[in-house]
Chains A and B, each alone.
Chain A
C-alpha cells in the first residue's frame, strides 16, 4: 500500500460526506442570497438582486444580531463565572472524587435539552414553584415575572451550557503542570497571586475554548428563546426560522444565515489567532 495515498483513502468517505451534506448545502444557502422571494413564498429564480443584503444591513436586523450577541455574551460570562470555580474545585479533589464529581457535572448535559428547558418553565412560571415559594415565604406579594423575558432566556442558556464549560476548564486544569503553582508558592507568592498570575493564564486556552463554544451555541440558539422567551425575545436563530417558515422568504433567510456563518468564522479565526499568540508568548 502506498504510504502517501492511504491517509486520503481513509479520509475520503468522511470528507465526502461532509462536503456533500454540509459544504454544498451551505454554498447553496450562499447562492440563494442573490434571488428574490416569489410572490407566494419560495424562490423566484428569475430575478438576481442585491436587495437581500441591503435589507439585512437595515439597522433593525443589526439590532437583533447585537441583542443575540449580547444575550449569548452574558450567558457565556455567567457560565464561565459559575463554571471556573466549579471546575477548579473538582480538579482540587482527590482523584477518586474527581471522577465522581466530573461525572455528576456532565450528567445533566446528557439528558434531553428540551426537557431541561421545560423544567424551567415549570419552575419559573407565574403559577410555578419559585413564585409559589416566594409568596409562601412572604418575600413577594404577588407573582413576579420570571418567565418569558430575557432573564429566563439567559438562565436557560447558562443552565444548559455550564456543564460544558466545567468540562472544558477541568481538562485545561488537569493538563496544567502542578509544579508551576508549587514553584510559585515556594517563591512566596500568595495563593491568590498564584492563581491570578500562574493558574488562570495557563488555563486561558481552556477558558477560551469553553467560552467560544457556549457563545456560538447560544447566539444561534432557537429553542431557548422560543420556549423561555414567550415569543418576546427575538434572537437571530428565531429570526432565521421566521423568515423560512412564517414569512416564507427563503432568499432573505439564507442571507441572514450566511451573515451568521460569516460571524462564526470571524469569531473562530480570532480565537485561533489569540490562542496561537498566547502559546507563542508562553514559550
Chain B
C-alpha cells in the first residue's frame, strides 16, 4: 500500500515536472527547434533579455503586480479584520467568495463593458484596478484563516492597558498576523503576475500597457519561439525563490 502510494506520488511529480524540465533543457538548445539538439548555448537567454518588448512587458507586469498587491493587501487585511468581528452575513460571504470563482473571462468583459460605458481611459491603471478585485478576496481569505485561531483577548488587554486602537493595531494585531498578511501578499503577487485574460481585456493601447502574459500569449500564437523556453526557466527560478520565501513566513505562523 505505502509503496504504491510512493510510486504514485513519484509518477505525479514526474507528470508535473517533466514538461517544465523539457522546456528548461530546450532553453539551452542552440538549434531552437524542439526536435533536434544543436549543442549547448545560452544565446536564447541573450536574445530574450535583449528584447525590448519583453523587457517593457516584464516591467509592466511587475508594476501591476506590486501596486495591485499593495492595495489588495491593505484592503484585504482590513476586510479580514472587520469580517471576523462583524456579525456573520451570508451576502458578505458571497461577495468575498465571488471574485475567486467568477470565470476570468466574465469578469474581464464585465469590466471592459463597465469601463467603456463610463468612458474610463484604459491603461496599466485599469489592469491594476481589476487585479485588486480578485486579489482582495485571496488576501482576505488567507488572513481570515489565520484570524480563526487569533486570540482576541490580547487586543482587549492592550486596550485595557491604555493603548489606542491604532497603537494596538500596529503593536499587537499586525505583528501577530503578519506572516499570514505576507503569505496573502505573495499569493496576490503571483496571481497578478500570472493573470492573462482580465489584463488582455482591460489593457489600454500599445506596448505601454502590455503585460508579460499578454506578450507570452502573442509569442505562443505566433509559433514555437525558443525564447519562451528561456523565459520559462527564468520564471520557474523566480517562482522558486518566491515560494521559498513564502514557506519561510508560513512556517513562522505559530501553531500551523
Contact = CB atoms under 8 A, between A and B. Distances in A.
A contacts B directly (C-beta below 8 A): yes
Interface of A: 1, 6-11, 13-15, 17-19, 21-26, 28-29, 32, 82-83, 85-86, 88-90, 92, 99, 101, 103-108, 110-123, 127-129, 132, 159, 162-163, 166, 191, 212-213, 216-217, 219-223, 227, 237, 240-241, 244, 250, 253-254, 257, 260-261, 264, 268
Contacts of A92: 2, 5
A14 B9 contact: no
**Residue in A24, A85, A110 with the greatest tally of chain B CB atoms within 10 Å:** A110
B232 A112 contact: yes
Contacts of A89: 5-6, 8-9
Given A14-B136, A123-B19, A112 B113 contact: no
B196 interface: yes
Contact of A7 (B1, B86, B104): B86
Contacts of A108: 16-17, 20
Where chain B touches its partner, the secondary structure class is helix
Contacts of B110: 22, 25-26, 28-29, 257
B235 to A, nearest CB: 5
A111 B236 contact: yes
**Residue in A25, A108, A122, A129 with the greatest tally of chain B CB atoms within 10 Å:** A25
Contact of A14 (B76, B102, B130): B76
A11 B133 contact: no
B40 interface: no
Given A14-B76, A89-B6, A129-B34, A123 B22 contact: yes
A18 B99 contact: yes
A112 B213 contact: yes
Given A10-B79, A88-B5, A106-B243, A15 B92 contact: yes
Interface of B: 1-2, 5-6, 8-9, 12-13, 15-17, 19-20, 22-23, 26, 34-35, 75-76, 78-79, 81-83, 85-86, 92, 95-99, 101-107, 109-114, 117, 129-130, 132-133, 136-137, 140, 165, 190, 193-194, 196-197, 212-213, 216-217, 220, 224, 228, 231-232, 235-236, 239-240, 242-243, 247, 251
Contacts of A14: 75-76, 78-79, 136, 140
Smallest CB-CB A-B distances: 10 pairs: A220-B103, A10-B82, A14-B79, A11-B82, A119-B19, A7-B86, A25-B110, A25-B114, A14-B75, A89-B5
